Amino acid sequence: MAGLIRADLHVHSSFSFDGQGTVQEYCEKAVSRGLQEICFLEHLDLYPQDPYCRYLDAAAYAAAIAEARAKFQDRLLIRMGVEVTYLPSLEKEIAEYIEGKGYDCVAGGVHLIFGGEGGISEEMEALETFARHEAEEVYADYFEHVAAAVRSGLFDVICHLDLVQRYGIHHLAQFEYGRFYGTLRLILEGMVKREIALEINSSGLRQTPQAPYPSAPILQLYYELGGQLITLGSDAHQPGHLAEGLAESWEVAEKAGRFRPVSFQARTPVPLES
């Protein structure tokens, strides 16, 4: 297990609208914490009504990564990626944006539902979404968006698959995944078929669920359906959270099945040494 937690494959620097800390500061923290690999997954938001639409400066981001790679080349493996806010209506724009950018990993995350009109990952937006809709309707639409992200074929990794629980847990206290079993099964079967990795995201340990995303039953179902590929990330938005909860998250994964932890290089899975 020790080798696996030497890589944090989901962090956000100030190139993300909600991130703090420079690429270099993250790399310095990674070295000080004994990490061997780090993957930046900066937010890519292309929904026109999003106030942070096209916040990411792709050229400046690439330059910062190149500079960090030159400085830390013998001490830290640095991957460059994006976490795309997925909406079905944006598939063409997403494909055009990521083409030719040289990303190691293109990860998909659902933060907006109901066609972009409902937010679930920021507290105030989530409060409004759950005020306007029944909790089960919110969860159902969320998982339908995740299923569409998988079908799109755009992504190497699906991030925090049940992130809807972050604030939804206040409205649907007992998340019984059986209520959404059909959609979840389609999601996970699609990931297995397309060899899309499932991210185990430790940020849930710092949030209300007090458990990694996705929850243990979803991990178990993924394994039962033949799922093998996983990534492990802290979803740190400041250097101080780098690698937090990775060991605990891996323990949850080990109880669910025998997975193959991977990183990504040029959008190709690379085994992580254990």
Is 90 exceeded by the pLDDT of residue 177?
no
Confidence (pLDDT) at 107? 99
Per cent of the chain over pLDDT 90 is 91
The CATH number of 4-271, from 3.20.20.70, 3.90.950.20, 3.20.20.100, 3.20.20.140, is: 3.20.20.140
Is 70 exceeded by the pLDDT of residue 1?
no
Counted residue by residue, the chain has a size of: 274
Confidence (pLDDT) at 3? 52
Confidence (pLDDT) at 245? 96
| Cα-Cα-Cα-Cα dihedral sign, residues 96, 102, 105, 110 | negative
Average pLDDT score, the chain? 95
Q: What is the mean pLDDT of residues 56-77?
A: 98
| Cα-Cα-Cα-Cα dihedral sign, residues 159, 204, 263, 44 | positive
The pLDDT confidence band at residue 19, using thresholds 50, 70 and 90, is: very high
Q: Give dist(CA 163, CA 50) in Å, integer.
A: 19
* Segment 208-224, tens digit of pLDDT: 899 999 999 999 999 99
Tell me the whole-structure pTM to 2 decimals. 0.96
**34 Ramachandran zone, left/alpha/beta (phi>0; psi -120 to 50):** left
Confidence (pLDDT) at 4? 64
Per cent of the chain over pLDDT 70 is 97
Q: Give dist(CA 25, CA 44) in Å, integer.
A: 21
The pLDDT confidence band at residue 274, using thresholds 50, 70 and 90, is: low
Is 60 exceeded by the pLDDT of residue 58?
yes
The pLDDT confidence band at residue 176, using thresholds 50, 70 and 90, is: confident
The pLDDT confidence band at residue 87, using thresholds 50, 70 and 90, is: very high
Residues 96, 154 contacting (CB under 8 angstroms): no
Closest CA to 18 of 243, 203, 238, 239: 238
Q: What is the mean pLDDT of residues 8-29?
A: 98
The pLDDT confidence band at residue 173, using thresholds 50, 70 and 90, is: low
